[in-house]
Chains A and B, each alone.
Chain A
Amino acid sequence: MSLWKIAWRSIQQRALASALTALGVGLGVALVVAVLVIHGVIDRSFKRGSQGYDLIVGPKGSSLQLVLNTVFHLSESIGTIPYSYYEELNEGRFSSAVETAVPVCVGHDYKGSMVVATIPDMFDKLTYLNDRRYEFAEGRNFDLAEPFEAVAGSVAARKTGLKVGDTFVPKDAQQDVADPDDHAHQSIKIVGILAHTGTPNDRAIFMNVEGFYRFGCHTAGPTLAAKLMKPKTEPAEEKSQAKDERAEAEHKPGEEADKHGEDAPDRHGDEARDHAAHGHVHGVPYDQRQVSAVLVCTDMSKPQLAMQLGDLVNADSVAQAVAPSKVISQLFEGIVGNVQLMLLILACLVVIVAGVGILVSIYNSMSDRRHEIAVMRALGASRVMVGTIILLESILLSLGGGALGILLGHGLVGVLGPTIAEQTGVLVSPWSFQYNELILIPGLVVLASIVGYLPAAVAYRTDVAKSLTTAQ
């Protein structure tokens, strides 16, 4: 019969009040745990290079926006860089430091899911979340030789209802409604659905970049396309493009664009040569192709060169190289970190309020227990012992509440997990325990000791003779 057991018995004796008090602590702790776990999981999945590539080469401008747009399919594109820059990375002057380079072009969406134009290497060569390979839940990857094939991320497929074999017409992100007579955009066929990855790529649709160029715009919508094409187009065309973006798009349907390419071999000598070389016919002249960004896996076997690559790119006036993990952790520590700190402080306040609940509950019971305490003293318990029993009671209640809270918290994460995964693309496992959760244990003991002090002092000071006499 230890003091612990005696304390436990007094808790059992007032089971309902004890349970409610512990539940209060539990709810507070659950909040703390949920904040810690979600933060920890987001933190880890960002920091461990979840992107599967280590550099994004894109236009000069906001590196944050470039990362948000390229990695998370959020925000708007900050512009484009020439396609030739991708070739420099892939096979030109930068290629010695590059293992894989994947171009991406954005600017279209379908029913709210972003349509990213890229090459099959995106899924064949790049990985995600620590070297996991992309897999297809249904169908297969799109074929480089089939310009109008696409695959959908798991969430995007569910949201848009697209299935393997379905076709869809992507719409220009800058147009509010899809144009029913949209001739610029040929329909695209879904040939595969990606298995769930827990990354932002679940939320996007990926189409062949070749098909994208046949839409007649480079990347971030007609405005940019128009601007970029200005110096190289004829005055008449230029005017119409400048006046009306949509008109520009309509004037360049796939077939017409093909003709356009054939019609103007003299105007675009280089383009014609490229056509011949690639055996393709393009809507956008080859030398006017632009990309939104290039995802670059540097060659790990040449770390020196890989390190210099970023500097070399940044030294150019055309592009910038951004390490997404660095930008993300900056963003994370700057904004997300502060939000999480505030949430954590709030959650801790809830725990403290619940701790005061323990104080009130035990303190209220003290008047009923004066006689019990006096009996224990008459049996030879010292003042310190009866005070300790009350303290232990407080500690047991808060630790019990804490254990409940940890379960509740992880349960909460389990319930919220799928939503979080869908909204942010981050996979949150309810059983990913955080080391900083361990700090809850000494924290709760300290809290319990502080709130238990007052009732313990009452027990300590109990006048035995008086309490025994008044009860008789």
Chain B
Amino acid sequence: MLELYEVKKSFTEPDGGDLPILDIEEFHLDAGEQMALVGRSGCGKSTLLYVVAGISRPDSGKVMVGEWDITLFTEPECDRFRAEQIGYVFQTFNLLPGFSALENVLLGMCFAGGRIDRARARDLLERVGLGHRMTHKPTQLSVGEQQRVAVARALANRPKLLLADEPTANIDSGHQQQVVDMLRERCREENVALIVVTHTPEVARQFDRIDNLEEINRAVVVK
């Protein structure tokens, strides 16, 4: 489902030199597969997710999602692809503060250009245990609840792939598990492939597949 070949990404340093961040020979993820991505801070995990989501472009290489190589897409095509095929959950501040929980979920549908499916949005919020919180603004929700809304929103457009970048990093350990469970269950239900970036061993341990980016990423080895 997701295949990366010879993906290279580097940033230009202030002195003009090239700073390689990503250099991945090969990376695969099957449809519906769930994995944890670990590695020390700064090894390029977030950058890898941006490349997979089409937010950042690699300098070279192929990023195949399904049958498409998204590196060949124009930027608007990438945006549309991301809206329809990729769900994204960040570490914090996932939600737009001016919008209620329900509206945050609908927002994802709005950008996909498809029809706005309110019933699905409500259903998703109920499934993450927030059926009674739909009209609450993000500030009225705990961080754990906000992350669950973000999970519901990431699934709104029935994506093929869900990327979660340290989704539990800001939640106390008591509520971490709830969010991880929601993520895993909902993805399994909808057959969505899932990459969870995490620093927390208890979270990583629950996945059958745990990849350490430091081992895959040749740029880190060089550094």
Residues of A bordering B, CB below 8 Å: 1-3, 6, 9-10, 12-13, 371-372, 375-385, 464-465, 468-469, 471-472
Contact = CB atoms under 8 A, between A and B. Distances in A.
Kindly state the interface size class of chain B when it binds its partner. 35 or more
B5 interface: no
B194 to A, nearest CB: 16
A13 B97 contact: yes
Contacts of A9: 96, 98-99, 103
B168 to A, nearest CB: 13
Contacts of B103: 1, 9
Interface string B147-187: 00000010001000000011000000000000000000000
Given A464-B55, A465-B50, A380 B111 contact: yes
A9 B107 CA distance: 12
Question: Which of B97, B103, B111, B165 gathers the greatest number of chain A CB atoms within 10 Å?
Answer: B111
Contacts of A10: 98
B58 to A, nearest CB: 12
Contacts of B112: 380
A12 B98 contact: yes
Q: Give the one of A3, A378, A465 with max B CB within 10 A.
A: A378
Contact of B76 (A376, A382, A464, A472): A382
Interface of B: 46-47, 50, 53, 55-56, 75-76, 79-80, 82-84, 86, 88, 90-99, 103, 106-112, 116, 153, 157, 165-166
Contact of B83 (A380, A465, A471): A380
A23 B16 CA distance: 49
Contacts of B90: 375, 378, 468, 472
Nearest to B169: A472
Given A376-B96, A379-B82, 15 more contacts: A9-B98, A372-B97, A375-B90, A378-B53, A379-B83, A379-B111, A379-B153, A380-B83, A380-B86, A380-B157, A381-B83, A382-B75, A382-B79, A468-B46, A472-B91
Nearest to B88: A378
B55 A465 contact: yes
A376 B53 contact: no
Contacts of A471: 92-93
A13 B100 CA distance: 12
Nearest to A381: B111
A465 B88 contact: no
B55 A1 contact: no
A10 B103 CA distance: 13
Contacts of B83: 379-381
Given A1-B103, A2-B110, A383-B75, A378 B96 contact: no
Contacts of A12: 98
A286 to B, nearest CB: 86
Nearest to B81: A380
A379 B79 CA distance: 8
Nearest to A373: B96
23 contacts: A10-B98, A13-B98, A371-B93, A377-B79, A378-B82, A378-B88, A379-B82, A379-B83, A379-B88, A379-B108, A379-B111, A380-B83, A380-B112, A381-B79, A382-B80, A464-B50, A464-B55, A464-B56, A465-B47, A469-B46, A472-B91, A472-B92, A472-B165
B93 A375 contact: yes
B28 to A, nearest CB: 23
A372 B107 CA distance: 12
Contacts of B92: 471-472
Contacts of A2: 110
A13 B98 CA distance: 5
A460 to B, nearest CB: 11
Contacts of B82: 378-380
Given A379-B153, A380-B80, A469-B46, A1 B107 contact: yes
Contact of B55 (A372, A377, A472): A377
Nearest to A368: B97
A247 to B, nearest CB: 85
A226 B55 CA distance: 98
A199 B84 CA distance: 69
Lowest 10 CB-CB distances: which A-B pairs, in order?
Answer: A380-B83, A13-B98, A9-B98, A380-B111, A1-B110, A382-B79, A1-B106, A381-B111, A380-B82, A465-B50
B167 to A, nearest CB: 11
B79 A380 contact: yes
Contacts of B86: 380
Contacts of A384: 76
B179 to A, nearest CB: 16
A376 B97 contact: no
A220 to B, nearest CB: 72
Contacts of A378: 53, 55, 82, 88, 90
A360 B75 CA distance: 30
Interface hub of B76, B97, B109, B110 (most chain A Cβ within 10 A):
B110
Q: Which of A378, A380, A381, A465 has most B Cβ within 10 Å?
A: A380
A1 B96 contact: no
Contacts of B95: 375
Contacts of A464: 50, 55-56
